[in-house]
Amino acid sequence: MNTHDVILHLLSGKNKKPALQSSTCFAPVNIALIKYWGKRNTELNLPVTNSFSVALPNKGTTTTLCVNPLGYDRYTLNGELLDKDTEFSKRLSQFCDFFRFENDYHFDIETENNIPTAAGLASSASGFAALALAFDQLFEWKLDKSSLSILARLGSGSACRSLWNGFVEWQKGERENGDDSFAQPYPVDEKFLNSFCVGLLVFEKDKKVISSRQAMLNTVNTSRSYKNWPTQVANDLDAIKQAIARQDFIALGEISERNALAMHATMLDSQPPTDFCTKKTREYREKIAALRKISVPVYFTQDAGPNLKLLFQKSTTETMIEHFPEVEIINL
Ligand code: DP6
Atom of ligand 1 nearest to the CA of 30: 17
- Is residue 278 packed enough to be buried (19+ CB in 10 Å), middle (13-18) or exposed (0-12)? middle
Q: Quick one: pLDDT at residue 257? A: 98
Q: Whose alpha carbon is nearest atom 5 of ligand 1?
A: 157
Q: Listing from the earlier edge strand, what are the strands of the sheet with 298-301?
A: 298-301, 308-313, 196-201, 328-331
Is residue 161 within 8 Å of residue 54, measured between CB atoms? no
> What average pLDDT does range 285-309 have in this prediction?
96
Atom of ligand 1 nearest to the CA of 51: 18
Mean pLDDT of the chain: 95
Residues flanking ligand 1, CB < 6 Å: 32, 35-37, 45, 51, 122, 124-125, 156-158, 212-213, 303-304
Atom of ligand 1 nearest to the CA of 157: 5
DSSP 3-state of 81: strand
DSSP 3-state of 80: strand
What is the tens place of the pLDDT at every residue in 148-199? 999 999 999 999 999 999 999 999 999 999 999 999 999 999 999 999 999 9
Peptide bond into 18 cis (omega under 30): no
Distance between CA atoms of 282 and 295, rounded to whole angstroms?
20
Distance between CA atoms of 317 and 107, rounded to whole angstroms?
44
What is the tens place of the pLDDT at every residue in 209-244? 788 999 999 999 999 999 999 999 999 999 999 999
Best mutation site among 46, 61, 214, 216 for ligand 1 pocket (most ligand atoms within 8 Å of CB): 216
Atom of ligand 1 nearest to the CA of 125: 2
Q: How far is the CA of 253 from the centre of ligand 1 (A)?
A: 20
